[in-house]
Amino acid sequence: MTFFDWTICDSITVGDLFKLIVPAGWTAVCFAAFLAYLLSPLSRGDPPRVGSACVVLVAALSGSGLSTAVFSFHRATSTFSIDWDEGQKESRRQRLKIHSSISTNFSLLSLALVIFFAGFAPQRELCAHETCGADVGWSAISLISSVIWLLISLMGMRKLSKTGSKIGEVGLPP
C-alpha cells in the first residue's frame, strides 16, 4: 500500500485529494476574489465592484463544475467492485448529460465574454476593471475550466458506453 492509497475517510484516498487539488484550489481562489471584489471596496467606503465580481464568479462556477466532474469521473472509473445495473447506468448517463450541457453553456458564455472584453468593451468603456485585460484574463480562465469540464464529461460518457456490467470493465467492440 502506497501513500496515495491511504484512506482518509470512508472511500476517499490521498490520491483522490491530489487529483482535486488544482481545480478545487483554483475554485477557492476564485470565490475568494469574488468576495474581495464585493467586500474590499466596502471597507474603503466605496460601492462594491459588482461587474468585476460577476466576471470572477463565472470562473468560480466553472471551476466548481470542473471539480465536481473530476471527482465524479474519478470515483466512477476507479470503483471496480460495484456491479452496475441498467438503472445505475442510466442515472450516471443522465448526470453526465447534465454536466455536458451546463459545461457547454459555460464554455459559450466564457467565449462570448472573452470576445466582448477583447473586442468591444474597450472602445465603449464597458470594462469591469480599470482595463479590459483582467476581464479577458478571468474570462479566458473560465473558458479553459469550462472546456476541460466538458472534455471530462465527454470522457465519462465514452467510458460509460464502453462499460460492461462492472464499473471500469471495458467491453470489446463488435
Q: Tell me the whole-structure pTM to 2 decimals.
A: 0.77
Report the C-alpha gap between 75 and 105 in whole angstroms: 25
Where is pLDDT greater, at 22 or 57? 57
Q: What is the pLDDT of residue 81?
A: 38
β-bridge partners, 79: none
Banded pLDDT at 72 (limits 50, 70, 90): confident
C-alpha to C-alpha distance for 76 and 117, rounded to whole angstroms: 38
Higher pLDDT, 41 or 83: 41
Residue 171 has pLDDT above 60, yes or no: no
pLDDT attached to residue 2: 83
Q: What CA–CA distance (Å, rounded) separates 12 from 102? A: 26
Q: Residue 86 to residues 44, 72, 83, 163, 166: CA-CA distances in angstroms?
A: 58, 18, 10, 11, 11
Kind plus residue range of the DSSP H or E element containing 12: strand 12-13
Higher pLDDT, 49 or 174: 49
What is the per-residue pLDDT across 113-154, written as a single tens digit (0 to 9) for each? 999 999 988 888 888 877 888 899 999 999 999 999 999 899
| Residue 63 pLDDT greater than 80, yes or no | yes
φ and ψ of 124, to 5 deg: -100, 5
Q: How confident is the model at residue 112 (pLDDT cuts 50, 70, 90)?
A: very high
Instruction: Show me where the domains of the chain are located.
Output: 13-76+83-162
- Assess whether pLDDT exceeds 80 at residue 66: yes
Q: Work out the average pLDDT over 39-59.
A: 91
Q: For position 164, what pLDDT does the model report?
A: 53
Q: Are 106 and 149 in contact (CB under 8 A)?
A: yes
